[in-house]
Amino acid sequence: MNTAETPKDVSLKAHEWLTGNYDNATKNEVQKLLDSSDKTPLIDAFYRDLEFGTGGLRGIMGVGTNRMNIYTVGAATQGLCNYLKIAFAALPQIGVAIGHDCRNNSRLFAETAAGIFAANGIKVYIFEDLRPTPEISFAIRELGLQSGIILTASHNPKEYNGYKAYWDDGSQIVEPHDVNIIEEVLKVNVDAIKFNGPKENIISLGADMDQKFLQKVVTVSLSPEIIKRQHDLKIVYTPIHGSGVKLIPMALEKMGFTNVIHVPEQDIVSGDFPTVISPNPEEPAAMKLAIEKAIETDADLVMASDPDADRLGIAIKNENGDFILVNGNQTVLIFLYYIISKRKELGLLKGNEYIVKTIVTSELAAEIARKNGVEYYDCYTGFKYIAEIIRENEGIKEYIGGGEESFGFMPSAFVRDKDAVSSCALMAEIAAWAKDNGRSLFEMLQDIYITYGFSKEKMKYVVRTGKTGAEEISQMMVNFRNNPPKHLAGSALSIVKDYETLIEKNLLTGTESPINQKITANVLQFFTQDGSKVSVRPSGTEPKIKFYIEVKDTLAFYADYDAIEAKTNLKIDQVMADLGL
């Protein structure tokens, strides 16, 4: 066996998996990697331990310390068990909920985790089959449990799987519990994992919990009388082979919609995602079949959810009747505009309401809130931070909506994670409201731009895989931090925000001020004098560095929309060129 090009630590780790307490199938796969003349797969599988980060686990499935398999899932679960016993030592019984999506091995990983929780004396409530992520969050709250997990890699390609952990309020875990759990996970070796606990500690969840969840989903409605008039609105919906296949059509029906059109090829549950390259509603290719079905049926609205049904993508008709994709920022704007406008109309704005957006989401969301006297919060990317703000304001202020640019929205606080089930139900109502008022969603979007200012956004990411890719991404952040651009699209930088130091520098006055965030993050933001904003951050779950670009303009007349959009697209191109993208 040629190991000359194999790092010593990689070889040692691989041989530990050959001799340790691992099953024979795993050992055989490790041996194949060792025997192969191409050492890259071996190095990528063992060059590091798959990190249980603040968002849990996510990685490519396969054998090795840097892969998703029953042993990395097992170590994460055992570490979580150990911490739950410390955090809830006073409780006579700790309980957790487990869910999973459609991905290959998701059920295996879910059942593996259930056995480990049970072996540690923890009561397990596991869904009988795949379920949307938001329902797991809801079940934790509904059952009064202390934690929960869902096996999902969200919208990543089919090679990936993941493990998200939740706390007792139904939100993903934040400090101090996140770092404490990570410490416990790091202590676990394969011999410490307690597999195969007693079956009596495991309870199945199914239709009863679905109904409780759906009863809450319909409470997001603000215009039930309009749905009655527009019940036959033509809605094309696709789950893209994932967890929304059952509950989202049921939610739309429960809201009162009677004309939901399916995409049969994508109703097939499959972790291979046979009709798409990537099951991500952010990508036009993933929406292609649904849009074709909408053209065929002359539908009013197209909606899609990702594999774990927490993200929502939509397509609407423009002024020419052609379907166009709505980006995540625009989706957030539509939701917030409707919620605030309708609440104002109904007399439901009492003065203690607030919305939440993430720092990389369009500043227009804040403008909508500001101009309507609604408080807004900025937080880091991730709905766990939105949930944290809700938790801090519980019983004091009323949360009425929040979202992020990556196609996530949470219309209500009964779920504490992004929620495509409730969002699909509410978006259908918004389309019905617009139609009832003789307008389209496209015209409604133009109304927003005319009233609050025009904003154009684009997210560009650079993928760098493996060990060398991670190093390259890290160096890119160092370079931007040490040498920020002086101009973007001809406008000088005015403000630089560095969330790693929590310092905001005003380049015009030379002053510095603190950024109001509890924890640091590896994020940089550049603001220009003409209102443009660029945010740069490495993804916490994927081998990417992401660039979020937003440029501003003014839309005075509907007829100018195409010209303003073209102008701002050119400006975004120039910003990207100035960033070297």
Name, in order, each residue with C-beta under 8 angstroms of 16's C-beta and a sequence gap of 6 or more. Answer: none
Name, in order, each residue with C-beta under 8 angstroms of 266's C-beta and a sequence gap of 6 or more. Answer: 238, 239, 240, 241, 275, 276, 289, 290
CB atoms within 10 A of CB 77: 32
pLDDT value at position 231? Answer: 98
H or E, element range at 385: helix 383-393
pLDDT band at 276 (very low <50, low <70, confident <90, very high): very high
Mind listing the pLDDT tens digit for each residue in 148-173? Answer: 999 999 988 999 999 999 999 999 99
pLDDT value at position 2? Answer: 45
Among 192-206, 456-470, 567-581, the range scoring the smallest mean pLDDT is 456-470
> H helices within 120-235, ranges in order?
133-143, 177-186, 207-217, 224-229
Superfamily of domain 234-452, CATH level 4 = Alpha-D-Glucose-1,6-Bisphosphate, subunit A, domain 3 (3.40.120.10)
Mind listing the pLDDT tens digit for each residue in 35-53? Answer: 999 999 999 999 989 988 7
Domain boundaries, the chain: 48-205, 234-452, 454-579
Residues 155 and 279: beta-carbon distance below 8 Å = yes
pLDDT value at position 493? Answer: 96
DSSP 420-486: HHHHHHHHHHHHHHHHHTT--HHHHHHHHHHHH-EEEEEEEEEE--HHHHHHHHHHHHHHHHHS--S
CATH 3.90.1690 fits 454-579, yes or no: no
Q: What is the mean pLDDT of the chain?
A: 95
pLDDT value at position 5? Answer: 66
pLDDT at 518 > cutoff 50: yes
pLDDT at 4 > cutoff 60: no
Mind listing the pLDDT tens digit for each residue in 341-392? Answer: 999 999 999 999 999 999 999 999 999 999 999 999 999 999 999 999 999 9
Residues 301 and 234: beta-carbon distance below 8 Å = yes
Beta strand 202-205 with 123-127 is parallel
Mind listing the pLDDT tens digit for each residue in 298-354? Answer: 999 999 999 999 999 999 999 999 999 999 999 999 999 999 999 999 999 999 999
Closest by Cα among 73, 239, 268 to 151: 73
pTM for the whole thing? 0.93
Mind listing the pLDDT tens digit for each residue in 413-433? Answer: 999 999 999 999 999 999 999
pLDDT at 540 > cutoff 90: no
> H helices within 306-346, ranges in order?
328-346
Instruction: Say whether 154 is catalytic.
Output: yes
Mind listing the pLDDT tens digit for each residue in 89-132? Answer: 999 999 999 999 999 999 999 999 999 999 999 999 999 999 99
Closest by Cα among 252, 214, 203, 198 to 230: 252
pLDDT at 6 > cutoff 90: no
pLDDT at 481 > cutoff 90: yes
The CATH classification number of 48-205 equals 3.40.120.10
Name, in order, each residue with C-beta under 8 angstroms of 49's C-beta and a sequence gap of 6 or more. Answer: 65, 66, 72
pLDDT at 412 > cutoff 90: yes
| Domain 48-205 matches domain 234-452 at the CATH topology level | yes
Residues 245 and 273: beta-carbon distance below 8 Å = no
pLDDT band at 541 (very low <50, low <70, confident <90, very high): low
pLDDT at 516 > cutoff 70: yes
pLDDT at 542 > cutoff 90: no
Structure tokens at 93: 């019984």
Specify the residue for token string 């060990």: 467
Q: Give the separation between CA 38 and CA 74, rounded to whole angstroms.
A: 29
- Residue of 147, 154, 341, 422 with catalytic role: 154
